[in-house]
Amino acid sequence: MSTDEKQTSSAFLPVNTFDLVVFGGTGDLARRKLIPALYHRFCDGQISGDSRIIGTSRSERTDSAYAKQMHKAYKEFSSGNDYDDSQWDEFSNKLKYVGLDVGDKAADWKALGKALSKDKDRVRVFYLAVPPKLFVPICNGLKAAGLVTENARVVLEKPLGTDHASAQATNAGVGAVFDENKIYRIDHYLGKETVQNLLVLRFGNILLEPLWSNRAIDHIEITVAESIGVGGRGAYYDTAGALRDMVQNHLLQLLCLTAMETPASLDADDVRTEKLKVLRALRPITKDVASYVTVRGQYARGKVDDEVMPDYLTDVGVDFSETETFVAIKAHIDNWRWAGVPIYIRTGKRMASRRSEIVIQFKPVPHSVFGPTKLNPNKLVIRLQPDEAVNLWMEIKEPGAGGLRLKTLPLNLSYADNFAVRYPDAYERLLMDVVRGNLSLFMRGDEVEAAWKWVDEIIKSWADSGQRLELYQAGQDGPDESHDMLAKDGNKWV
Residue 250 known to be catalytic: yes
Q: For residues 311 and 325, give the distance between their C-alpha atoms in angstroms, rounded to a whole number.
A: 11
Q: For residues 101 and 322, give the distance between their C-alpha atoms in angstroms, rounded to a whole number.
A: 35
Q: For residues 329 and 248, give the distance between their C-alpha atoms in angstroms, rounded to a whole number.
A: 12
- Nearest approach, Cβ of 190 to ligand BG6 (angstroms)? 11
**CA dihedral over 17, 21, 26, 27, signed as positive or negative:** negative
Closer to ligand BG6 by Cβ: residue 289 or 352 = 352
Closer to ligand BG6 by Cβ: residue 245 or 324 = 245
Q: For residues 426 and 418, give the distance between their C-alpha atoms in angstroms, rounded to a whole number.
A: 20
Q: Is 225 in a helix, a strand, or coil?
A: strand
Considering only 19, 218, 221, 226, the residue that binds ligand BG6 (CB under 6 A) is 226
Closer to ligand BG6 by Cβ: residue 233 or 332 = 233
Task: Pick out residues in 119-178 that bind ligand BG6 (CB under 6 A).
Answer: 158
Q: For residues 346 and 183, give the distance between their C-alpha atoms in angstroms, rounded to a whole number.
A: 29
Separation of CA 34 from chain center: 15
- Nearest approach, Cβ of 236 to ligand BG6 (angstroms)? 8
- Nearest approach, Cβ of 345 to ligand BG6 (angstroms)? 15
- Nearest approach, Cβ of 245 to ligand BG6 (angstroms)? 5
Q: For residues 217 and 369, give the distance between their C-alpha atoms in angstroms, rounded to a whole number.
A: 21
Closer to ligand BG6 by Cβ: residue 158 or 350 = 158
Q: For residues 432 and 39, give the distance between their C-alpha atoms in angstroms, rounded to a whole number.
A: 12
- Nearest approach, Cβ of 188 to ligand BG6 (angstroms)? 6
**Of 15, 1, 9, which is closest to residue 431 (Cα–Cα)?**
15
Catalytic residue among 71, 188, 250, 367: 250
Closer to ligand BG6 by Cβ: residue 290 or 358 = 358
Bridge partners for 217 per DSSP: 362
Q: For residues 31 and 26, give the distance between their C-alpha atoms in angstroms, rounded to a whole number.
A: 6
Q: For residues 173 and 275, give the distance between their C-alpha atoms in angstroms, rounded to a whole number.
A: 24
Binding mask 460-479 for ligand BG6 (x = CB under 6 A): --------------------
| Cβ contact 17:52 at 8 Å | no
- Nearest approach, Cβ of 229 to ligand BG6 (angstroms)? 10
Q: For residues 305 and 51, give the distance between their C-alpha atoms in angstroms, rounded to a whole number.
A: 44
- Nearest approach, Cβ of 428 to ligand BG6 (angstroms)? 13
Query: E-strand spans in 116-167?
Result: 123-128, 152-156
Binding mask 411-450 for ligand BG6 (x = CB under 6 A): ----------------------------------------
Q: For residues 323 and 300, give the distance between their C-alpha atoms in angstroms, rounded to a whole number.
A: 12
Closer to ligand BG6 by Cβ: residue 19 or 245 = 245
DSSP symbols for 64-88:
HHHHHHHHHHHHHHS-GGG--HHHH
Total binding residues toward ligand BG6, as defined by CB under 6 A: 3
Amino acid at 224: V
Binding mask 243-272 for ligand BG6 (x = CB under 6 A): --x---------------------------
Closer to ligand BG6 by Cβ: residue 226 or 315 = 226
- Nearest approach, Cβ of 177 to ligand BG6 (angstroms)? 25
Closer to ligand BG6 by Cβ: residue 40 or 158 = 158
Q: Is 477 in a helix, a strand, or coil?
A: coil
- Nearest approach, Cβ of 398 to ligand BG6 (angstroms)? 38
C-alpha separations of 54 from 74, 131, 138, 481 in Å: 17, 19, 15, 49
| Phi and psi angles of residue 385, each rounded to the nearest 5 degrees, phi first | -170, 150
**Of 228, 206, 492, 210, which is closest to residue 351 (Cα–Cα)?**
228
Closer to ligand BG6 by Cβ: residue 112 or 247 = 247
Cβ within 8 Å of residue 278, ≥6 positions away: 255, 256, 259, 260, 333
| Cβ contact 122:131 at 8 Å | no
**CA dihedral over 25, 31, 34, 40, signed as positive or negative:** positive
Q: Which residues bind ligand BG6 (CB under 6 A)?
A: 158, 226, 245
Active site residues: 250
